Structure 1
Amino acid sequence: MQRLTISIDDDLADQFEQWSDARGYANRSEAFRDLLRKELGQSHVQAHPDTACVGTLSFVYDHHERTVALRLMDMQHDHHELTVSSMHAHLDHDLCMETVILRGPALVVQTFAQKVLAERGVHQGHLHLVPLTRA
């Protein structure tokens, strides 16, 4: 393991300390390593869109919207090579939440997620993408 020494201004150091404490890090080194891994992973995905990744796509939709549930299910079946698993939850009388675990090349997963989120009846959602490479 290598030791790095960095200098940052007092305000930034205080913010970093508060951030790492709030997230329960035992020390600043582990907090810094996690931030660096995240940034390097995102940079790797941008530079290499064919990078293998896993992701969770979570979205909320109105199941009363005409055919939305069927369209969303068809999209997952049409991309069965990406869809590992899904979970469906009823939030209230109108709204449902679905979380889909996806696996495949980063760009393909991102493209599929964007198409799902753009479907009429989907209110909002988010893709959390994790590259399967070691940073």
Structure 2
Amino acid sequence: MANDLMRFSVAMPENLLVEFDQLVARRGLAKNRSEVVRDLVREALVEDECARPGTEVMGTLTIVFDHHASVLRDKLDAIQHQYYESIVSTTHIHMNEEWCLEVIIMKGETGEIQGLADLILGTKGVKTGKLVLTTTGKYF
């Protein structure tokens, strides 16, 4: 039975298979169709798990902001100190004379991490940002 679950075939239109093979090729020499399918399934399972309320997740929030923005650094520091239990680490990079990039690594329950990310992203002076969530290890 376990072997039956490991082996399956999928009918796929030829044009979709051609595009899939191009994806496999872009992923590198060590990848084959089976490995890419496993990667895609794992990615879908991780995404589904991270979307469930109450799930413990790890997240990276990447933000870009103008370091000349009035009191922004103080606001960001205050938020990060308020939520210190959820923030694992931060990395701050000076992109040029005006712009900074910061990566904030977080760990906690899905809703809490999403709420914290929304709070930071909504802070006046933060120009852009993105939260990426992942599992704490179940699918690795």
TM-score category by the smaller chain?
Answer: over 0.9
Q: How much does 1:133 deviate?
A: 5.1
In 1: Cα distance, 2:39 partner to 2:79 partner: 34
Q: Secondary structure at the match of 1:65?
A: coil
Aligned to 1:41: 46
What are structure 2's unaligned runs of at least 5 residues? none
1:78 aligned to which of 54, 60, 82: 82
Q: How much does 1:49 deviate?
A: 1.5
In 2: Cα distance, 1:84 partner to 1:133 partner: 16
Q: Secondary structure at the match of 2:16?
A: helix
In 1: Cα distance, 2:44 partner to 2:8 partner: 17
Q: Which amino acid aligns with 2:76?
A: L
Q: Does 1:132 align with 2:133?
A: no
Aligned to 1:120: 124
In 1: Cα distance, 2:99 partner to 2:137 partner: 36
Contact 2:67 2:99 in 1 (8 A): yes
Aligned to 1:102: 106
Q: Does 1:27 align with 2:32?
A: yes
Aligned to 2:18: 14
Q: Which amino acid aligns with 2:56?
A: A
Structure 1 segments of 4 or more deviating over 4 A? Answer: none
Q: Which amino acid aligns with 2:45?
A: L
Q: Report sequence identity in percent.
A: 33
Contact 2:63 2:101 in 1 (8 A): yes
In 2: Cα distance, 1:55 partner to 1:109 partner: 7
Contact 1:52 1:133 in 2 (8 A): no
Contact 2:58 2:135 in 1 (8 A): yes
Deviates more, 1:17-26 or 1:118-127: 17-26
- When the two structures are superposed, what TM-score results if normalisation uses the length of structure 1? 0.93
Q: Greater Rg, structure 1 or structure 2?
A: 2
What are structure 1's unaligned runs of at least 5 residues? none
Q: How much does 1:44 deviate?
A: 2.1
In 2: Cα distance, 1:20 partner to 1:30 partner: 9
Q: How much does 1:50 deviate?
A: 1.1
- CA RMSD across the alignment: 1.3
Q: How much does 1:88 deviate?
A: 0.4
In 1: Cα distance, 2:24 partner to 2:77 partner: 40
